[in-house]
Amino acid sequence: METIIEIQNLEWKYENTKEFALKGINLQVKEHSFVGVVGANEQGKTSLLSAISGLIPHSFNGIYRGQVLLFGKPVREMDSLELATKVGLVFSDPEAQFTAMTVEEELTFGLENIGYSLSEIKERLEWAAQITMIEDLLDKSPYDISGGQKQRVAIACVLAMNPPIIMMDEPTSMIDPLGKRLIFDILRKLKEEKKHTLIVAEHNVEQLAPLADEMILMSAGQIVRHESTLEFFTNPLYLREQGILPPECTEYAQWLNHEGYLPIETKLPLEFEEAVKFIRPLFEKRGVK
């Protein structure tokens, strides 16, 4: 797979702050991968996503060193239109980005700006509305719907533009449990489509881990770990020190492993279905069906 995001020695400091928010960041992301980003508060997750989206340095003042390349071109050299066709970022607060009277207008606004034909707009609108399950909200006001629905509309707005890179910054942090599940359902569908590169910062490791191919841990403005998701969660002590808990089923399997109930080489599960598959034989060995 081709590397489509490349960050080289990136340093970023917001104006009026003492500390650099991003320090010595080097990162490569391959096309169609799903990257999870975790870390305690104020460690640089949002800044990293903003740097990839080009919001840093285009919409903030500060000191910028190094570079971020999307498809080999520095984001610094792209204008907002070019950036919008390459990368989309969904924030945790969906309302902040609404401007239109109806959900449908909200979705088509960006597309009209870029100059797509009516049939292309219709096709993108239908796809984005269907995958985010908002078809019955299209004629409603984006301010008149629930928090979870607003977030799905915000995601649909980014999807309608169909950028190859889609990022979400804590997309479920402000919505109720059912709403959260629907957001993860959308992420699962996008992953299964294998048409986008997905980068998601999220505190809900339980839901994120089964989806992510790779995980990044941010601490004090640096990427302190970047590994396959399974490797990442096999050192829970280190993660705990950084305030990150692995998925419960991974921890449980690791405990069984540690206590000698499982063969040492057992591949740890990241979600319950997998965990059940390898724990079942343990019960069956003891005659429990």
> How far is residue 9 from each of residues 199, 221, 222, measured CA to CA in Å?
20, 12, 11
CB distance 106 to 157 below 8 Å: yes
Q: Pick one of ligand ATP, Mg ion, none as the site partner of residue 53 (Cβ within 5 to 8 A by kind).
A: none
Q: Pick one of ligand ATP, Mg ion, none as the site partner of residue 17 (Cβ within 5 to 8 A by kind).
A: ligand ATP
**Which of 37/253 has CB closer to ligand ATP?**
37
Smallest gap from Cβ 37 to ligand ATP, in A, equals 8
**Which of 129/218 has CB closer to Mg ion?**
218
Radius of gyration of the chain (CA): 20
Smallest gap from Cβ 157 to ligand ATP, in A, equals 21
The residues binding ligand ATP (CB under 6 A) are 14, 17, 21, 39, 41-47, 218
Q: Pick one of Mg ion, ligand ATP, none as the site partner of residue 144 (Cβ within 5 to 8 A by kind).
A: none
Smallest gap from Cβ 218 to Mg ion, in A, equals 9
Smallest gap from Cβ 221 to Mg ion, in A, equals 12
**Which of 46/53 has CB closer to Mg ion?**
46
